[in-house]
């Protein structure tokens, strides 16, 4: 299997890299701000790690930042075991698949294998891309027409085929080329809530992909190119393999907008692109029933409990308490003292 993209975009289907700092291959020369710009464009999840407070001797000063993805590291918090633990914790947050914040305290002593003797508080901000994850299987005529369209939309794409020489030389920034002799394996390891679009040149491969995706049960959508006759045959075969009607109904075949007809590759591609746009737009506008219930209860007169999100003052206060023997972290100016007091009062 071959993935033809820079490391900064390799996190859609591959497992999280556990060999932290085993080599320098994951390190990049870009600053943290340059990295964020590239990662946002590529639709890659990342964590910003910021030193928000220090006591005593530390490798980097307060406000120093680094950016961590599942495979890559941009900028530094000083190296050593502290940075190792920061990267490790950041990647645990990425596994949660949620945008979140976290504060952690690190004592730079024997437990971290460092002799600085100081302490640091690090804020972790996990930034999870809200773009639709889409696996496209097949690099034939329709896919060749479709990918440039999808390349201009808020979608993260793994483009899968077994034929390396059929892919175009240049790819949109949001597309990862995946060459795999067994495309079905890519379907099996896809992350939860991935949408799958099956456009291969082989009907048997189309069916094997659809079967694997439906069996996994974690897809947000499954679209298969083909006719009504092909759809009936696939549904019949799935039923004979003990898939129930609810499972079979997960498959959309034929794929594409019904009111956009035509058989030219570009006509089919435009029709499919329209359905993909409907897919991610409808996903963005759906409301969580739990949120609706909270809103209803609030309108019913229950205003005594305020909804809390993000880090609370108590968490900040607890994290900023270093060790009993360490000197307290004090603001460096009257302005900082006033800001901290106002934050505390607001959250009490």
φ, ψ of residue 285 in degrees (nearest 5) = -95, -10
Give the tens place of pLDDT for each residue, 300-336: 445 445 555 566 555 655 655 544 444 444 444 444 4
pLDDT band at 47; cut points 50, 70, 90: very high
Would you give the end-to-end CA distance of the chain in angstroms? 55
Q: Where is mean pLDDT largest: 2-6, 100-104, 246-250?
A: 246-250
Query: Which pLDDT band, with edges at 50, 70 and 90, does 59 fall under?
Result: confident
Structural domains of the chain, with CATH:
16-129 (no CATH), 132-280 (3.40.50.720)
Dig out the tokens for 108 from the structure: 């730079």
The pLDDT score that the predictor gives to residue 114 is: 59
- Comparison of pLDDT for 69 and 311, the residue scoring more: 69
Give pLDDT tens digits for 203-232: 999 999 999 999 999 999 999 999 999 999
pLDDT digits (tens, 9 = 90+) for 249-258: 999 999 999 9
Average per-residue pLDDT in the chain?
79
């Amino acid at each position: 299997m071959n993935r033809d993209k820079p490391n900064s975009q390799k996190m859609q289907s591959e497992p999280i890299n556990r060999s932290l700092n085993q080599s320098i291959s994951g390190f990049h020369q870009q600053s943290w701000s340059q990295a964020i710009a590239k990662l946002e464009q590529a639709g890659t999840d990342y964590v910003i790690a910021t030193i928000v407070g220090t006591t005593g001797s530390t490798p980097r000063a307060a406000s120093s930042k680094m950016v961590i993805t599942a495979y890559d590291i941009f900028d530094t918090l000083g190296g050593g075991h502290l940075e190792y633990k920061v990267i490790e914790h950041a990647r645990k947050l990425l596994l949660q698949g949620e945008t979140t914040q976290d504060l952690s305290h690190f004592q730079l002593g024997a437990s971290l294998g460092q002799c600085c003797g100081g302490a640091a508080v690090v804020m972790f901000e996990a930034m999870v891309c809200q773009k639709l994850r889409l696996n496209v299987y097949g690099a034939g005529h329709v896919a060749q027409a479709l990918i440039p369209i999808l390349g201009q939309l808020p979608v993260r794409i793994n483009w899968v085929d077994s034929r390396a020489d059929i892919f175009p030389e240049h790819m949109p920034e949001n597309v990862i080329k995946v060459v795999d002799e067994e495309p079905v394996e890519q379907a099996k390891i896809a992350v939860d809530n991935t949408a799958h679009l099956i456009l291969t040149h082989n009907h048997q491969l189309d069916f094997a992909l659809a079967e694997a995706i439906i069996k996994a049960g974690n897809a947000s959508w499954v679209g298969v190119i083909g006719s009504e006759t092909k759809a009936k045959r696939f549904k019949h075969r799935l039923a004979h393999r003990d898939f129930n009607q609810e499972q079979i109904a997960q498959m959309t075949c034929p794929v594409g907008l019904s009111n956009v007809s035509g058989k030219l590759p570009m006509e089919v591609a435009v029709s499919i692109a329209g359905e993909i746009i409907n897919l991610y737009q409808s996903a963005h506008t759906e409301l969580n029933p739990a949120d609706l219930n909270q809103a209803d209860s609030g309108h019913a007169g229950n205003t005594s409990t305020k909804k809390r999100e993000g880090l609370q003052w108590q968490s900040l206060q607890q994290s900023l308490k270093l060790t009993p023997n360490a000197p307290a972290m004090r603001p460096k100016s009257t302005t900082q003292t006033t800001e901290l007091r106002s934050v505390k009062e607001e959250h009490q």
